[in-house]
Structure 1
Amino acid sequence: MTLRLSGIRHAYGGRDVIRGVDLHVRPGEILCLLGPSGDGKTTLLRLVAGLEPLQAGRIELGGVVVGEPGREVPPEQRHVGFVFQDYALFPHLTVAGNVAFGLSRLPRGERGRAVAEALARVGLDAYAEAYPHMLSGGQQQRVAVARALAPRPQVVLLDEAFASLDARLREQVRDDTLHVLQSAGIPAMVVTHDAEEAMFLADRIALMRQGRVVQLGPPEELYLAPIDPFVATFLGEVNRLPALVRAGRAETAIGAVPLRPGTGLAEGPAELLLRPEGLRILAEGGTPAEVQACRLLGATTLVHLAVADGTGGTLHLHARLPPGVHLSRGQGVTVAPDPERAFVFPPAAP
């Protein structure tokens, strides 16, 4: 089963919120719509689900057109599962009752088996007779996922489904959700504004800005080969350094990196964006730097560094190193950029 969106445009009160989106979600694929709030991600989900009339473009499920201007298949006939941000559980129904809500067309016996199967898939079969208020936030989210998957939809949509959970619980619940979606084997479209969450869940990411898809590809492609500074900074932290393009290299205060093929930058001023893990701290050679702080953050060590910018000023840079590295404040080190984690773009507008 596939989901295809072609030429989708949408506006509210004359304000364009989706400006020509084309997407194809492959069988069993998890596609994350990533981007700032208000950039049309949730609107896309609502259009796919049939909760809003399509103004322009086409939506196909399994090769069948379910949405065109003036030709809309009703939401209940689209076979789309939807997990809302607030879960939208019915407080007066048990967990089993919530999961069974979309199964009214099934015979009673078959409905019971479908509910039991859905709850077992999310590990909540022991809570069938509990009510939503008796569950933790993570358990409520899993009930919402079970309800979305119980009717065996053609596609499942998740709208900021982990946003209301605290950080520690969010990690566990999204891990559980990833395994459930993968085992279900149906295409999924997930909306989030959290880049780490998108990289964790997605087979591919569609990064949106102002109603358009800026870059579409696997998480590693967006992280390691961003097409512009917006993509680079949205996918993770970067150090910004003034650069000068000359003879096929970008020269900076901490060293030069070769331009990537196809960069197409003319010689002259530029800007180099460097991932913190791409700032190498060397035993010898490189550019002198001074350690301002060194903090263990669990999986990595974050080092704050001061480097002369070559014009009488100071650059404040971050480096991420393996855990266990300890550097003292005021300690002198040398640094150099890793070309694989460095991206060169035209200089930022003043």
Structure 2
Amino acid sequence: MTISFDSIRHAYPERGEVLRGLSLAAKPGEIVCLLGPSGCGKTTLLRLAAGLEPLQAGRIALGGETIAEPGREVPPESRGVGFVFQDYALFPHLTVEDNVAFGLRFVPRGQRKWRIMDALARVGLEAYAQSWPHMLSGGQQQRVALARALAPRPAVLLLDEAFASLDARLREQVRDDTLHVLQESGIATLIVTHDAEEAMFMADRIALMNEGRIEQLGTPADLYLGPATRFVATFLGEVNRLPARLRDGKVETPIGAIALGNRLPASGLPREEGAPVEVLLRPEGLRVLGAPSLEPPAAAAEGGTLAEVEACRLLGATTLVHLAVPDGQGGLLHLHARLPPGTWLQRGEQVSVAMDAERAFVFPAEAP
């Protein structure tokens, strides 16, 4: 079933309004990530969907049927909504099997055992049915919480920072396992996270929230490659900030000029010739050329800008290079570039750099 939110507003006495007319929908089988900084209203939206908070304004519908509007609330247990909390909320005095069974109180006893084992099998924990929560790792506890939420076969599943308490290496494995379970379940899923990488890994679509509103909604590629605002560009990943000016339909920066094309979110830019703007450039969009240790060789560096290597660090999948480039005003710009692993540049080495316009985004200059 599709879950939809229409013009949702919500306020707390101590914080003021945290949701400001938000509208969103998630279709069956779709994973939508609510991404954004702390306090932007992500968890509040989940709690409203689950019936843990009374709806103050707007409408929430499931499969076209209203489940919440001001003055009328379907009880949480009757909504068909599963919830995986950040701390998993497992009962320490119950076995894994009994924890999963807790959500099946209204299922006929004859079907209950089969539903429990089916849910545990989905998350690969059928062998741990008689274990106690304290005997499990953090990743296993998270999967028990997921099995408990899936066992009643909800129409919608809600996950609130479900991977936040896991260490980095375990988090990657548990996220991957969870993604496969959610895709197989075929139900609409809303996941709250403040981790952009996690959202891009998990989501079919991302709703990037800021101050109670959706700043941009789209696929991970939409947001990463075509950010509508400076906030979106910076939240989805690291950027280099380049001062620039508009001249003859181009954006001139210290490392070259780019044309204002369809790939550049140029709406809202000043129209005056020579007006200041800012270019945000992804590290992978800063091409490093012309060093003896790089391919293509130095001859391919024509038209680039001279830069000096300040540091070079291997990060596993990529090599991060710190570069100093003249800013055209007597100072230096400190930029980051990402190169394939195994590439190595020495500190003080002279290289040439150029921009990939597809990874460059133009916005009005920020006020001082």
Return 5+ residue gaps in structure 2 as ranges: 291-300
1:342 match: 360
2:343 match: 325
Q: How far off is 1:213 after superposition?
A: 0.4
Please give the residue correspondences for 1:1-12 in structure 2 after superposition, counting only pairs within 5 Å: 1-12=1-12
1:84 equivalenced with 2:91 (yes/no) = no
- Normalised to the residue count of structure 2, the TM-score between the two structures is 0.94
Q: How far off is 1:260 after superposition?
A: 2.9
Tell me which amino acid in the other structure corresponds to 2:280.
L
Query: Residue 207 of structure 1: SS of its match in structure 2?
Result: strand
2:211 match: 210
State the distance in 2 between where 1:51 and 1:9 align.
Answer: 15
State the distance in 1 between where 2:70 and 2:60 align.
Answer: 10
1:137 match: 138
Tell me which amino acid in the other structure corresponds to 2:106.
R
State the distance in 2 between where 1:315 and 1:52 align.
Answer: 49
Alignment: residue pair count: 350
State the distance in 2 between where 1:191 and 1:248 align.
Answer: 41
State the distance in 2 between where 1:114 and 1:249 align.
Answer: 62
2:160 match: 159
For 1:139-173, what per-residue CA distance to the aligned partner results, in whole angstroms no more than 9, with x for missing partners?
A: 00000000000000000000000000000000000
Q: How far off is 1:228 after superposition?
A: 1.0
1:51 match: 52
Please give the residue correspondences for 1:104-253 in structure 2 after superposition, counting only pairs within 5 Å: 104-253=105-254
State the distance in 1 between where 2:95 and 2:260 align.
Answer: 60
Structure 2 counterpart of 1:302, from 320, 337, 342? 320
Structure 2 counterpart of 1:275, from 271, 282, 288? 282
1:23 equivalenced with 2:24 (yes/no) = yes
Query: Residue 227 of structure 1: SS of its match in structure 2?
Result: coil
Q: How far off is 1:46 after superposition?
A: 0.2
Query: Residue 176 of structure 2: SS of its match in structure 1?
Result: helix
Query: Residue 317 of structure 1: SS of its match in structure 2?
Result: strand
State the distance in 1 between where 2:158 and 2:367 align.
Answer: 38
Tell me which amino acid in the other structure corresponds to 1:271.
E
Query: Residue 106 of structure 2: SS of its match in structure 1?
Result: coil
1:34 match: 35
State the distance in 2 between where 1:4 and 1:247 align.
Answer: 46
Tell me which amino acid in the other structure corresponds to 2:26.
V
For 1:187-230, what per-residue CA distance to the aligned partner results, in whole angstroms no more than 9, with x for missing partners?
A: 00000000000000000000000000000000011001001111
State the distance in 2 between where 1:127 and 1:27 align.
Answer: 30
Tell me which amino acid in the other structure corresponds to 1:308.
P
Tell me which amino acid in the other structure corresponds to 1:263.
A
Runs of 4+ in 1 over 4 A off after TM superposition: none
For 1:331-350, what per-residue CA distance to the aligned partner results, in whole angstroms no more than 9, with x for missing partners?
A: 00000110000000000121
Query: Residue 85 of structure 1: SS of its match in structure 2?
Result: coil
Tell me which amino acid in the other structure corresponds to 2:45.
L
Tell me which amino acid in the other structure corresponds to 1:3.
I
2:294 match: none
Mean Cα deviation higher: 276-285 or 234-243 = 276-285
Q: How far off is 1:36 after superposition?
A: 0.3
State the distance in 1 between where 2:210 and 2:107 align.
Answer: 42
State the distance in 1 between where 2:177 and 2:246 align.
Answer: 47
Tell me which amino acid in the other structure corresponds to 2:5.
L
State the distance in 2 between where 1:253 and 1:153 align.
Answer: 55
Tell me which amino acid in the other structure corresponds to 1:274.
L
- Percent identical: 72
For 1:217-244, what per-residue CA distance to the aligned partner results, in whole angstroms no more than 9, with x for missing partners?
A: 0001100100111100000000001000
Aligned CA-pair RMSD? 0.8
State the distance in 1 between where 2:255 and 2:107 align.
Answer: 67
